[in-house]
Amino acid sequence: MSGDWAWNQAVHHSLHSLHLQVTYWPTSQDDIAKDKEAHGAVFVPIILGSNKTTVSVATGQNDYWPVYLSIGNVHNNV
C-alpha cells in the first residue's frame, strides 16, 4: 500500500461525505420544520470514525479499532 493510495481513498471518502452532507442536510432541516411535534428540535449530525491502531508495548502486538465520535454542529472555538 502506498501513501498515494491511502490519500486518494481518504480524499474520495471525504468528498463523498461532503456530497451527502450538502444534499441531505437541507432536506432534513425542512422535514423537521414541517413536523409540529418536533417544534424546538435541533438537527444534530453525528461524526463517527474508526481506524486500526497497533499497540505493541505491554500487549504483545495487538490491534485495536478505537471509535471516535463527535457531534457535527460544534463551533471551531469550542
Number of independent structural domains in the chain: 1
DSSP E strand boundaries for the chain: 46-50, 53-55, 62-64, 67-71
**Structure confidence at residue 1 as a pLDDT band (50, 70, 90):** very low
The answer to the question of residue 35 being in a domain is yes
Q: Are 69 and 48 in contact (CB under 8 A)?
A: yes
Check the CA dihedral 69-54-14-76 and report its sign: positive
The answer to the question of residue 77 being in a domain is no
The answer to the question of residue 78 being in a domain is no
Quote the domain boundaries for residue 41: 3-71
Return the closest-CA partner of residue 71 out of 51, 50, 44.
44
Q: Give per-residue pLDDT as tens, 27-72.
A: 666 777 777 887 777 777 788 888 888 887 776 788 888 888 888 7
Residue 20 has pLDDT above 80, yes or no: no
**Structure confidence at residue 26 as a pLDDT band (50, 70, 90):** low
> CA 57, CA 22: separation in Å to the nearest integer?
42
pLDDT at 34: 79
